[in-house]
Amino acid sequence: MKFRLMGITDLSTVDWPGGLAAIVFFQGCNLCCPWCQNVDGIDPRGGKVAEVEDTIEHLKGLKPMIDSIVITGGEPLLQPEACLEILKTANGLGLKCAIETNATDSQALRRLLPHLDLVAIDVKAPLSDPKFYEKITGSVGVPRLVQKIKESLQLAIDSRAEVEVRTTVVPTLNDDEKIVAQLVDDIKDADCLRFQQFRNQHTLDPSFQRLPSPSREKLLKLAHGVKRKGLKNVKIFTVEGGLETV
């Protein structure tokens, strides 16, 4: 089976806390977030054509070093059959499995959930404000965009997998405390919320490169505000401090 692959990181010590993970980057994304920092992964015609079987053999060769795999992108749910075959093999090897996804295809996610230990869902803005969500993702007019994400989030919460919501904090877009509070109300049943630091080196819309990255102190302030709203498991990820539990 062929699929579009952006690349593989053989060994990561930061993508699965406490674990050693291989990262499989699927090519292509169905959103066009202007502040996207993984620009090379957006075009579905980019990357390279790869065989699922070759990728599986490569992962088998990494088994002595790794204890987990993370499927990410791009957007991996655009290629669910390849995801499924890789996850099944990883399960058989005794590896823990995670996916990082924008959650816009709930039916694809439903098929993968039995094989996942961790689901990391990018929630970029309050799900209760569909128009704002379309704007912040560059996806105006996409049918049922927010509804599909809500469905995916609930499916993940109802599964056996741990569910981590990840929000990249972008100045002028979603860094306001009121917006964050609204977002928290929409995802309060998830196991964890992780704020990630926007980085301005390489963005889809070059104008975002003129924005400063939010400071560690800014993310800590947002995280403490979230905890006061009752969400117990909150993390931040910054260049300065790495991954921190607040």
Tell me the pLDDT of the chain (246 aa) as tens digits. Answer: 999 999 999 999 988 878 899 999 999 999 999 999 899 999 999 999 999 999 999 999 998 899 999 999 999 999 999 999 999 999 999 999 999 999 999 999 999 999 999 999 999 999 999 999 999 998 877 778 999 999 999 999 999 999 999 999 999 999 999 999 999 999 999 999 999 999 998 999 999 999 999 999 999 999 999 998 888 899 999 999 999 999
Query: What pLDDT does residue 18 have?
Result: 82
d(CA 235, CA 195): 6
Taking every pair of Cα atoms in the chain, the longest distance, rounded to a whole number of angstroms, is 48
Q: Number of C-alpha atoms within 13 angstroms, CB side, residue 155? A: 22
The β-bridge relationship of strands 162-169 and 192-197 is parallel
Domain count, the chain: 1
pLDDT for the residue 131? 92
Which pLDDT score, from 0 to 100, does residue 36 have? Answer: 94
Q: For position 161, what pLDDT does the model report?
A: 97
**CA distance linking residue 72 with residue 53, whole number of Å:** 18
Return the pLDDT at 17.
Answer: 79
CATH number of the domain enclosing 55: 3.20.20.70
Q: What pLDDT does residue 15 have?
A: 87
Range of the domain at 160: 2-245
Region class of 10: left (phi > 0), else alpha (psi between -120 and 50), else beta: alpha
Q: What is the pLDDT of residue 232?
A: 85
Integer Cα distance of 99 and 103 in angstroms: 10
